[in-house]
Amino acid sequence: MSLNRRSFLASTAGVTASLAAPAVWSASHGRPRVVVVGGGAGGATAARYVAKDSDGAIDVTLVEPTRTYYTCFFSNLYLGGFKEISDIGHSYGTLASAHGVNVVHDWAVDVDRSAKTVTLAGGATLDYDKLILAPGIDFIDGSVPGWDISAQNRMPHAYKAGSQTELLRSQLRGMREGGLFVMVAPPNPFRCPPGPYERVSMVAHLLKNSNPTAKILIADPKEKFSKQALFEEGWDKHYGGMISRLGPDFGGGNVSVDPDAMTVDIDGQVENADVVNVIPAMKAGRIAEVAGVTAGNWAPVNAIDMSSKADPDVHVLGDASQQGDMPKSGFSANSQAKVCANAVRGALTESRVFPPRFANTCWSLIASNDGVKVGATYEATPEKIARVDGFISQTGEDAALRKATYEESEGWYAGISADIFG
Amino acid sequence: MLRFLGVFVPSVAAVAVVLLSAYVFANRLVDRAPEPAAARMSVPMVAQRDVAPEDVTKGNGAAVVAENDAAESSSGNKAAESPSEDEGAVTASPVSELVAAGERAFRKCRACHQIGEDARNRAGPTLNGVVGRVAASVEGFNYSKAMKAAGKRGLIWDEEELAGYLAKPRTHLKGTKMSFAGLKSEDEIAATIAYLKTHSESPVGAAEGDAPEAVPEVALDSSVLDIEGDPEYGEYLSSECTTCHQEDGGDDGIPSIVRWGEDRFVTVMHAYKLGVREHPVMNMVAGRLGNEEIAALAAYFAALED
């Protein structure tokens, strides 16, 4: 049963009336309601901050299908053997117990923006005064010819962390000696710009120890990628000769796969692969499109409060949003969520609303104790979230600094996990 | 030695609010009448006492104190380990000699203090990380009231404090329960601190590969320190900190920022803002905070202590 328990108790209406006409006891009765769809870095942070800071004045429901959320950030470290899968899994228990968030484990399948309701796969309907959509990404059908969701067991994407990540690691560990790992990298824009390249680093780290004659091939539709000089320097230093990358000049943008034959066709050249990681092109999580707040693949938002350009009562956070200059990252989503939560709370309870502030930092691990980072701060402009200034690790940094950077990323993971999940 | 650095860009929160409100109205062509959040966006309350405009143009009274220069002039031993902008100028051997001497001197401390990998609290607290940490911050150790009070007001065990304390513990910090007469010679004190530093990672310097030296600070004009921060605004701003720094004081890989005194917090943030302390993330974040925002954060984190 996915009824909103706290609203239900607050309501004077009886059980039967509530079930029969949930929309009747909406905005004008009881506490204002916020429904958050998606329990990742954006959604869970927003739910937590609205609930925590409003101290019970706002009824917050979080709709998230999974009971345990595996963070995409640090999932590459699991592939590399630096983390256990349990290290990156988080439950929603604290959001419910410490902050009073009504956590509903279900899929949101429809949004009626005129009635201000969200329909769940289980059949229940949730009313909202403000809706926060943080559905992350979905894949664009047909973006890698030959691959679709039915092929994801043979050629995992592992770009939504959890069972897919475990599958990819198991395939890598079982790879034949001297085998070939192929990554089909995604076109821009996509979740976690350094992610595919950190993954290659972690796969190389794993194979270097267990299968040192194995090879790694990246087929990449992009000319350039995030932290490129840092990764290429690190690959050369730690994994010399193991990793090759075919950019668009070498057909890296013209790729199809045959999951049954385990082949990858790169611009007419067919490679027999042992493990293939297909990371397709991405778009906003489907519910954003269903809600009618997307334009093209993503959901345009106002930088000041992450509200949808299509509807002031709908906010879109994180990877799904089209906000401007921030990369699609967990850090960005977390940052945006706090701005959004502050604005939503202000709109519903007259609490003070402060100027938006945005920041992002992405750490990547290249090898043991060889961490690098890139970061920037951003401001809201009328057009978009615009980059103000930033920094990036430098090539040739000494080992102590790289180790400290890695240790810093561990601290960050602990910090942001607590900030998201309580 | 004083150097005046940089000019703060005065915070323009109020202007930003007006602009932001204006563009929200301009951009949101909506078919119903929402109440744009920005319309009620409040300007953070700031009580900024005694700041004349000319002070602002002078850099808000912030001046960099190169503590190391002072240290050098008072003790010749510091020369070998003084940080240099040219890292190549720091040669390895004098430092390691100093550290070795410090390790020998530390035998006097070992009766009560453990240091190193498996160190545990004994009669005295463990000394891993002591250089640069807040007084009375080792978990599980029962400090004297005096030491707790020192921690509460933000005393940091930087080199200067340690030097004073190690020379005459009970004079330097009245009420301490450390029953040790003190180290006699300045050489021995300098060596001991050098040794302690090998078990301390300066939260900032070490991360940046700098020599793990006394933390250079800024001397702030009282007009900056006296700004009364708005804790509610600070709470909002603090959410930017808690993406990395744990609210419960956990400090694995990233230092804890809770339980600092307000003045200490403000000073350190200005040190990052001015680039006196170096860390790319902190320089970036602090660089975008105005004086009143730093004060607000300090007020919020100070209130957390209570």
- Chain A interface includes B96 (CB < 8 A): no
> pLDDT tens-digit profile of B158-199?
888 898 899 888 888 888 888 888 888 888 898 898 888 888
Residue A50: its pLDDT value, please? 98
Lowest-pLDDT range of A16-30, A97-111, A238-252: A16-30
**Residues B270 and B294: beta-carbon distance below 8 Å:** yes
How far, in whole angstroms, is CA A16 from its chain's centroid? 39
Handedness of CA A122, A124, A125, A128 (dihedral sign): negative
B59 falls in which pLDDT band (50, 70, 90)? Answer: very low
- The candidate with the shortest Cα–Cα distance to B176, out of B145, B152, B155, B153, is B145
Radius of gyration of chain B (CA): 22
Tens digits of residue pLDDT in B88-138? 333 445 677 888 888 888 888 887 888 887 787 877 888 988 888 888 888
A411 touching chain B per CB within 8 A? yes
Evaluate if residue B52 carries a pLDDT over 60: no
- pLDDT number for residue B4: 39
The CA distances from residue A318 to A39, A386, B103, in Å, are 11, 15, 51
Alpha-carbon gap, residue B70 to A354, rounded angstroms: 42
Residues of chain B in contact with residue A391, where contact means CB-CB under 8 angstroms, are 280-281, 283-284
How far apart are alpha carbons A284 and A383 in whole angstroms? 20
> What pLDDT sits at residue B305?
61
Per the listing, tokens 């010819």 go with: A145
Residue among A135, A139, A161, A136 nearest A148 (CA): A139
Mean pLDDT of B290-304: 91
Model pLDDT for residues A162-220, shown as the tens digit of each residue: 999 999 999 999 999 999 999 999 999 999 999 999 999 999 999 999 999 999 999 99
Residue B206 has pLDDT above 80, yes or no: no
- Write out the two tokens for A345: 């709370």
B148, with CB counted inside 10 A (0-12, 13-18, 19+), is middle
Q: Which of residues 334-353 of A touch B (CB under 8 A)?
A: 334-335, 338, 342-344, 346-347, 350, 352-353
Residue A353 is predicted with a pLDDT of 97
- The CA–CA distances, whole Å, from B257 to A339, A369, B28, B277, B301 equal 22, 25, 39, 15, 8
Return the SS3 of A118: strand
Residues A277 and A158: beta-carbon distance below 8 Å = yes
Which range (A250-254, B193-197, B266-270) has the least confidence? B193-197
All structural domains of chain B with their residue ranges: 95-197, 222-303
B90 touching A (Cβ < 8 Å): no
- Compare all CA atoms of chain A with the CA of B234 and give the residue at the minimum distance: A354
Q: Which two tokens stand for residue A231?
A: 């990764």
Say if the Cβ atoms of B24 and A304 lie within 8 Å. yes
DSSP summary character for residue A318: G
Tell me how many residue pairs between chain A and chain B have CB atoms under 8 A apart: 148
Strand partners, A132: A36, A315
In the stretch 165-224 of chain B, residues with CB closer than 8 A to chain A read: 201, 206-209
| pLDDT for the residue numbered B93 | 58
Q: Is any Cβ of chain A less than 8 angstroms from the Cβ of B148? A: no
B161 or A416: which leads in pLDDT: A416
* A313 phi, psi to nearest 5 deg: -95, 5
Tell me the Ramachandran region of residue A292: left when phi exceeds 0, alpha when psi lies from -120 to 50, beta otherwise.
Answer: left
Measured distance CA(A155)–CA(A144) in Å, rounded: 11
**Is the pLDDT assigned to residue B2 strictly greater than 50?**
no
Provide the pLDDT confidence category of residue B217 given band limits of 50, 70 and 90: confident
Among candidates B28, B35, B280 on the partner chain, residue whose Cβ is nearest the Cβ of A347: B35
Largest CA distance in chain A: 70
Pairwise CA distance, residues A123 & A368, whole Å: 48
CA distance B180 to chain A (A): 35
- Residues 6+ away with beta carbon under 8 Å from B239: A49, A338, A419
pLDDT of residue B13 exceeding 70, the answer is: no
Three-state SS at A387: strand
> If pLDDT is split at 50, 70 and 90, which confidence band does A4 have?
very low
DSSP characters for chain B?
Answer: -EEE---PPPP-HHHHHHHHHHHHHHH---SS----GGGGBPPPP-B-TT--HHHHHTTTT-EEE-HHHHHHHH-GGGGGG---SSGGGS-HHHHHHHHHHHHHHGGGTTTT---STT---SSS---TT-TTPBTT-STT----HHHHHHHHTT-B--HHHHHHHHH-HHHHSTT----------HHHHHHHHHHHHHT---TTTGGGT----PPPEEEPPHHHHT-B--HHHHHHHHHHHTTTS-TT---SSS---SS--HHHHHHHHHHHHTTSS--HHHHHHHHT--HHHHHHHHHHHHHHH-
Give A382's pLDDT tier (boundaries 50, 70, 90). Answer: very high
Residue contact B253–A412, C-beta within 8 A: yes
Asked if residue B18 lies in contact with residue B43, where contact means CB atoms within 8 angstroms, the answer is: no
- 3 state SS of A309: coil
Which residues of chain A lie closer than 8 angstroms to B88, CB-CB?
A: none
Taking a contact as any Cβ pair under 8 Å apart, which residues of chain B between 68 and 87 contact chain A? Answer: none
- Please give the class, per CATH, of domain B222-303: mainly alpha
- Whether B253 and A401 lie within 8 Å, measured CB to CB: no
**Would you state the pLDDT for residue A361?**
97
Dihedral angle sign, alpha carbons of residues B288, B292, B294, B297: negative
Amino acid at B34: P
Number of neighbours of residue A403 by Cβ within 10 angstroms: 17
- List CB contacts (< 8 A) between A389 and chain B: 284, 287
Average pLDDT value for residue range A302-324: 98
Phi first, then psi, for residue A264 (nearest 5°) are -125, 125
How far is Cα of residue B43 from the mean position of the Cα atoms in its chain? 28
Q: Work out the mean pLDDT of chain A and round it to a whole number.
A: 93
Question: Confidence class of residue B201 from pLDDT cuts 50, 70 and 90?
Answer: low
Confidence of residue A90 (pLDDT cuts 50, 70, 90): very high
Segment among A16-20, A398-402, B253-257 with least mean pLDDT: A16-20
Do B222-303 and B95-197 fall under one CATH topology?
yes
Tokens of B204: 């900032």
pLDDT digits over A40-74, tens only?
999 999 999 999 999 999 999 999 999 999 999 99
Cis before residue B255, ω within 30 degrees of 0? no
* Residue B231 pLDDT level (bands cut at 50, 70, 90): very high
Q: Where in A298-357 does DSSP place strands (E)? A: 299-300, 307-308, 311-316, 321-322
Return the exposure string of A10-19: e unless at least 16 CB atoms fall within 10 Å of the residue's CB, then b. ebebeeeebe
Arithmetic mean of pLDDT over chain B: 70
CATH of domain B95-197: 1.10.760.10
CB atoms within 10 A of CB A75: 28
% of chain A surpassing 90 pLDDT: 93
pLDDT average, residue stretch B196-205: 65
CA distances from residue A402 to A396, B129, B261 in whole angstroms, order as listed: 10, 20, 31
B243 and A415 within 8 Å at the Cβ level: the answer is: yes
Q: Which residue of B has its CA nearest to A398?
A: B209
How far is residue B223's CA from residue B231's CA, in Å, rounded to a whole number? Answer: 18
- Structure tokens given for B66: 């190169």
Nearest to A382 among B27, B251, B287 (CB): B27
pLDDT value at residue B131: 86
Mutate to test the interface with B, among A131, A345, A352 (most CBs of B within 10 A): A352
pLDDT surpasses 70 at A13: no
